[in-house]
């Protein structure tokens, strides 16, 4: 009898324990689901594309994604102050945020495979690198090109041809502009960069590890200063005039008052609906390759992914899936930008976007370190002073002064 009761009690105990385990498992399910949700912050322009691509990845991993829309600038500005339980694991951002975010410990290093890295030009990876380490996956490239009205002039193959053709067109009418490159009273170092790099100028040198060195400034390096007299020549002949601002440059091109216009893919729709015949090329080599500044957009994994227990998932999403050609094609096309992935770039069917992409080959990513804030106004100001027509400051002096001022600001 005692033996029978003991067996019955044991059986009952097993049932109770089993029931408790089931309840515990059921109650743990929401927490497990929450732990396998990867939260992404993106802006309005990329929301739909990010949601589509990230959701496709999530299905292959058996997890969830929560794509949250934020103002583009807010993504960076609020990353350091957001409550941990509301924080993103992954963000969409600009490459020039990298230095600030990495220095503040807000983003994590990435380690894509060698095969993946081979699908990207070095300059695209450099854009999201800081201190020699990669912190972001480049997705889309943005740069200016030289738009040529082929009904008015031939596409130049050399800078000498560009100069000759632009000046000949300018002489046809007092209202004509030789090269419609935006500057204006405040200057525009971004649009002027192809001319700066073409004269062998650069902003910061790089260390052996590839990191930018803010204390080696190339704004007035010896090679550039040797070529600076060309700026004085351009000023005298009216090839470039700092009085031309963005609106003036755009209006002149659209009204056939300029045969050459420096602009970027944000004007793709304008060009397509203009009814004009045009080609987009990189500014021809001057003394060095006249490459543009590059803006690069991409994805970064935040420090919060570790606290949320999704670091490996977040890095798989960013450093593998988002860097694939198919993902890059969808993401770049959604914002009318050229993909960073070389294989995806070959698949671009939009002829205008493809031409802007080719115009960016070999481009220089805008420096992503905080010290760049001390450069923009000075570099732009040197161009304004040296290309304002009568009374212009000799370029050698203008850029040497700018270099000293930058050094002083950086300390």
| Residue range 133-178, pLDDT digits in tens | 999 999 999 999 999 999 999 999 999 999 999 999 999 999 999 9
Global pTM reads 0.86
Helix or strand holding residue 408 (H, E): helix 395-410
Average pLDDT over residues 195-202: 98
* Secondary element (H or E) of residue 37: strand 37-42
On the question of pLDDT at 4 being above 70, the answer is no
Categorize the per-residue pLDDT at 334 as very low, low, confident or very high, splitting at 50, 70 and 90.
Answer: confident
Q: Roughly what angle, to the nearest 10 degrees, separates helices 395-410 and 376-386?
A: 170
C-alpha neighbours within 13 Å on the C-beta side of residue 34: 9
Separation between Cα atoms, residue 81 and residue 101, nearest integer Å:
12
Both tokens assigned to 369: 């370190």
How many other CB atoms sit within 10 Å of the CB of residue 64?
15
Q: What's the pLDDT at 70?
A: 97
Which residues are CB-neighbours of 34 under 8 A, at least 6 positions away? none
Output the pLDDT for position 31: 41
Domains in the chain, start-ordered, CATH in brackets? 34-142+295-359 (3.40.190.10), 145-291+375-410 (3.40.190.10)
**Is the pLDDT assigned to residue 209 strictly greater than 90?**
no
**CA distance to 141, 322, 327, 336, per residue, from 349 (Å):** 16, 20, 16, 11
Identify the three-state secondary structure at position 146. Answer: strand
Q: Give the mean model confidence (pLDDT) for residues 24-35.
A: 41
Which percentage of the chain shows pLDDT scores above 90? 87
- On the question of pLDDT at 232 being above 70, the answer is yes
Q: What is the pLDDT of residues 41-51, one digit of tens each?
A: 999 989 999 99
Residues 6+ apart with CB under 8 A from 68: 39, 40, 41, 42, 88
- CB atoms near residue 159 (< 10 Å): 17
- Helix residue ranges, H only, 36-158: 44-61, 72-77, 98-103, 114-117, 122-127
What are residue 140's DSSP bridge partners? 297, 339
First to last CA, the chain: 92
> What is the predicted pLDDT for the residue at 211?
87
In whole angstroms, what separates CA 377 from the centre of its chain? 20
Q: List 94's β-bridge partners, or say none.
A: 297
pLDDT score, position 333: 78
Q: What are the residues whose beta carbons fall under 8 Å from the beta carbon of 8, sequence distance 6 or more?
A: none
Instruction: Tell me: pLDDT of 261 over 60.
Output: yes
Residue pair 360/352 in contact by the 8 Å Cβ criterion: no
Chain centroid to CA 378: 22
CB burial of residue 29 (10 Å; 0-12, 13-18, 19+): exposed
Tokens of 195: 């001319």
């Amino acid at each position: 009898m005692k033996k029978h009761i003991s067996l019955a009690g044991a059986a009952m105990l097993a049932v109770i324990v089993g029931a408790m385990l089931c309840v515990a498992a059921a109650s743990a399910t929401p927490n497990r689901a929450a732990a396998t949700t990867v939260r992404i912050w993106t802006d309005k322009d990329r929301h739909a594309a990010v949601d589509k691509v990230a959701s496709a990845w999530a299905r292959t991993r058996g997890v969830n994604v929560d794509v949250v829309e934020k103002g583009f600038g807010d993504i960076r500005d609020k990353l350091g102050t957001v409550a941990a339980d509301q924080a993103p694991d992954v963000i969409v951002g600009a490459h020039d945020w990298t230095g600030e975010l990495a220095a503040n410990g807000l983003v994590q290093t990435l380690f894509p495979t060698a095969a993946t890295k081979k699908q990207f030009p070095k300059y695209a990876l450099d854009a999201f690198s800081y201190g020699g380490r990669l912190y972001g996956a480049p997705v889309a490239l943005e740069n200016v090109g030289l738009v040529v009205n082929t009904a008015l002039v031939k596409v130049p193959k050399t800078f000498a041809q560009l100069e000759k053709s632009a000046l000949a067109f300018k002489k046809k009418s007092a209202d004509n502009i030789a090269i419609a490159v935006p500057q204006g009273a405040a200057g525009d170092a971004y649009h002027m960069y192809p001319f700066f790099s073409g004269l062998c100028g650069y902003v910061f040198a790089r260390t052996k590890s590839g990191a930018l060195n803010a204390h080696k400034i190339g704004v007035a390096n010896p090679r550039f200063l040797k070529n600076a007299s060309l700026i004085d020549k351009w000023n005298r002949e009216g090839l470039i005039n700092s009085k031309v601002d963005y609106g003036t440059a755009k209006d002149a091109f659209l009204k056939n008052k300029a045969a050459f216009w420096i602009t970027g893919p944000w004007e793709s729709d304008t060009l397509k609906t203009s009814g004009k015949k045009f080609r987009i090329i990189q500014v021809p080599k001057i003394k060095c390759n006249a490459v543009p500044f590059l803006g690069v957009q991409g994805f970064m994994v935040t420090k919060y992914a570790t606290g949320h227990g999704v670091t490996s998932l977040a890095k798989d999403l960013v450093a593998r899936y988002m860097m694939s050609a198919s993902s890059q094609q969808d993401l770049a096309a959604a914002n009318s930008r050229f993909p960073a992935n070389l294989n995806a770039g070959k698949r671009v069917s939009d002829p205008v976007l493809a031409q802007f992409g080719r115009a960016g080959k070999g481009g220089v990513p805008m420096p992503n370190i905080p010290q760049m804030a001390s450069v923009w106004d000075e570099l732009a100001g040197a161009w304004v002073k040296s290309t304002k027509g009568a009374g212009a400051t000799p370029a050698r002096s203008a850029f040497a002064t700018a270099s000293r001022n930058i050094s002083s600001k950086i300390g």
